[in-house]
Amino acid sequence: MLYKLLKNMDKEQFQPIVISLTNKGSLGEKIEGLGIKVWCCNLDRGFNATYRFSKLISLLYKFKPDIIQGWMYHGNLISQLLKPFFPKTKIVWNIRGSHYDLKQEKKTTAAIIYLCAKMSIFPSKIINNSSLSAIKHEELLGYKKSKRIIIPNGFDTDMYKPSCITKEILKNEYNLSTDTITIAIIGRYHPVKGHDVFIKAVKQVIEIKRECKFKFILIGRDVDSKNKVLVKMIKAANIEKYCLLLGERDDIQELLKEINVIVSASHSEGFSNVIGEAMSCGIPCIATDVGDSKWIISETGFIVPPNDPKSLAEGLLKILDLPLDERQKLGIKARERIVQNFSIEIVVKKYETLYRALIK
């Protein structure tokens, strides 16, 4: 989202400068490709932290920023620690996820989230990309409700759009026929993503629709044949021949053109980029009722309870039993919803409106 914001921001009114607390990384290189300088603090190296922080202060003195925008918890904390050195500068935080169960976090990350909660009275505004995430942070962690503003993730609807022209990746790499119905779950391998629930649901679907030409496609980091736990689950369900493990891919945009249905089986979620990108491509989605998934999908797909394989299987059967034209109509409605409510142009304008209001 940071890259999309910087790419689409009005450069005549705003002059963005990006500071990475660690190294440049691939995202930093992409940002510099926009003509925006990325400065690196390397605070993760663990030594001379005081010296590096003083260099950060010196760097900011050169630019005299009107606004310092923290991005995620570490950035939020550092931005607030900079405030005494820049008393006239407005501080804005940005919370991008649903990290309100500190037991699931690393100790250092949990400590930073806790500290930010205690300091949340100080920033001018706290941007949340999900209303549920905002509420959970406030009710469970003590973040200040008075500082809240909701700005959802935005999607490039020109990049993610329906297309009948594909590279036929699934056909060429995995020998899928064009009449195969493809159902995908996209996300890194992590207990919160619900791969176990997805596999149990797929087993139930296959038991009912054994003769149908389905392929269930699992995509994401560590979602591959090297993942022994995942492979064991699939074998135990006896659905190996119906599943493809693609692992981490850098061609999701192209793969989406060949997907018929997207599934999100997460136990917890903030604002799902996968759902938004799929809907922008005209793909109907079925998702668990976590985070803002219900709000995003609305009437364009199906919502089921989390951690409930039976309900997920029933939802899948409903969407798969639809005639092709009805499923396509759902996809059209899905894209319309993203274009009208979550396009990157609309979302960037919300950021710009906030920034203008703060510096008046």
What pLDDT, on a 0 to 100 scale, did the predictor assign at position 312? Answer: 98
What pLDDT, on a 0 to 100 scale, did the predictor assign at position 100? Answer: 64
Burial 189-201 (b: 16+ CB within 10 A, else e): beebbbbbbbbbb
Distance between CA 154 and CA 100 in Å, rounded?
23
Distance between CA 85 and CA 328 in Å, rounded?
56
- Token pair 């100790």 is found at 107
Query: What residues in the chain have per-residue pLDDT under 70?
Result: 45-47, 98-101, 104
Q: How far is CA 213 from the centre of its chain?
A: 30
Phi, psi of 93 (to 5 degrees): -100, 160
Distance between CA 116 and CA 139 in Å, rounded?
14
Distance between CA 243 and CA 160 in Å, rounded?
25
Distance between CA 114 and CA 95 in Å, rounded?
13
Domains of the chain: 2-154+344-358 (3.40.50.2000), 169-341 (3.40.50.2000)
Within 10 angstroms of residue 331's Cβ, the number of other Cβ atoms is 22
Q: Are 255 and 220 in contact (CB under 8 A)?
A: no
Instruction: Supply the Cα-derived Rg of the chain in whole angstroms.
Output: 22
Q: Indicate the average pLDDT of the chain.
A: 92
Q: What is the pLDDT of residues 101-149, one digit of tens each?
A: 677 678 888 899 999 999 999 999 999 998 888 988 999 899 999 999 9
What pLDDT, on a 0 to 100 scale, did the predictor assign at position 89? Answer: 97
What pLDDT, on a 0 to 100 scale, did the predictor assign at position 88? Answer: 95
Of 230, 229, 202, 234, whose CA–CA distance to 216 is shortest?
Answer: 202
**Structural tokens at position 27:** 């995202």
Alpha carbon separation from 20 to 37, 39, 51 (Å, rounded)? 11, 6, 16
Instruction: Give me the helix-helix angle, 72-82 and 49-63, nearest 10°.
Output: 70
Q: What is the pLDDT of residues 180-215, one digit of tens each?
A: 999 999 999 998 899 999 999 999 999 998 778 899
What pLDDT, on a 0 to 100 scale, did the predictor assign at position 99? Answer: 61
Q: Are 24 and 38 in contact (CB under 8 A)?
A: yes
Q: Is 347 exposed, middle or buried (0-12, 13-18, 19+ CB in 10 A)?
A: buried
What pLDDT, on a 0 to 100 scale, did the predictor assign at position 132? Answer: 83
pTM, two decimal places: 0.84
